[in-house]
Amino acid sequence: MSNQKKAAVPLHSMPQEGRYGYIAEAANDLFHENGYASVTMEKIAKRLGVGRTTLYDYFQSKDDILYFLIDQRIDLDEHIRLTGSVDARIQQLMVASLTRFKDNFVLYQILFTEKPAFAHQTTHKLLQWQQKVLASVKQLLSEAIDAGTLKPRCSATRMVFVFQALLGQRMSQLLLSPESVLETPTALQREAETLTNLMIRGIGELT
């Protein structure tokens, strides 16, 4: 997003409650374009067409802006509706995780490759989301085992580890070398299907 576009709406003319988000989105654009380490408060202020002192009225540092972005975008109350067979449901959880990753790629990249000094505080929110997903995986696998529709070769806990390992490894690859696999819903669905097939065929047999 260009400087001209950001400066088109004077900050002082916006409602007070909307200014924080507007500033944060401008900073997020700069993080994406230049990398988190090279962005300064002065550069963010310039992008917005305001002085640094004005910017400090809202955020004390770029770390504060990054924390605000994560806090606003990582919704821990998001509900994932699961339907269909056990492998279809696992695939839906894969899709949800990959979609969150795609929609917040810049934030994930900053946290897990640039590692800001306060990363341990912000990654806690991402870990909370991950734990919710993993709990859902364990529950649906346990139900499938009890119903006899999944014959595992290991415990449900170890199956959850396989889910986490496959997803985590794929995200790590994408952070280091972004690909087009997540650019469209169809591509994202195919990626989730591939990971799900690897997981299911490697841990047991569906009946």
Place of tokens 């959850």: 160
Model confidence pLDDT, tens digit, residues 137-151 = 899 999 989 999 888
pLDDT value, residue 101: 87
**Is residue 81 located within the same domain as residue 157?**
yes
Q: 98: which residues sit within 8 A by CB, 6+ positions away?
A: 167, 171, 182, 188, 191, 192
**Is residue 67 located within the same domain as residue 88?**
no
pLDDT value, residue 203: 59
- pTM as predicted: 0.74
**Is residue 80 located within the same domain as residue 180?**
yes
Domain boundary among 71, 104, 127: 71
pLDDT value, residue 180: 67
Domain boundary among 71, 90, 105: 71
Q: Structurally, how many domains does the chain consist of? A: 2
pLDDT value, residue 28: 92
Domain range enclosing 85: 75-206
Host H or E run for residue 80: none
pLDDT, averaged across the chain: 82
**Is residue 14 located within the same domain as residue 90?**
no
- State yes or no: pLDDT of 202 exceeds 80: no
| Percent of the chain predicted with pLDDT > 90 | 29
Model confidence pLDDT, tens digit, residues 78-88 = 667 888 888 89
CA separation for the pair 100, 145 (Å, rounded) = 28
**Is residue 97 located within the same domain as residue 55?**
no
pLDDT value, residue 142: 92
205 pLDDT tier (thresholds 50, 70, 90): low
**Is residue 104 located within the same domain as residue 184?**
yes
CATH of residue 126: 1.10.357
**Is residue 34 located within the same domain as residue 10?**
yes
**Is residue 116 located within the same domain as residue 185?**
yes
**Is residue 145 located within the same domain as residue 46?**
no
Model confidence pLDDT, tens digit, residues 155-186 = 889 889 999 999 989 888 888 876 666 778 88
CA separation for the pair 124, 145 (Å, rounded) = 31
Lowest mean pLDDT among 1-15, 17-31, 112-126, 188-202: 1-15
CATH of residue 31: 1.10.10.60
**Is residue 119 located within the same domain as residue 23?**
no
- State yes or no: pLDDT of 41 exceeds 70: yes
Host H or E run for residue 178: none
- State yes or no: pLDDT of 104 exceeds 80: yes
CA separation for the pair 38, 15 (Å, rounded) = 30
pLDDT value, residue 198: 86
56 pLDDT tier (thresholds 50, 70, 90): very high
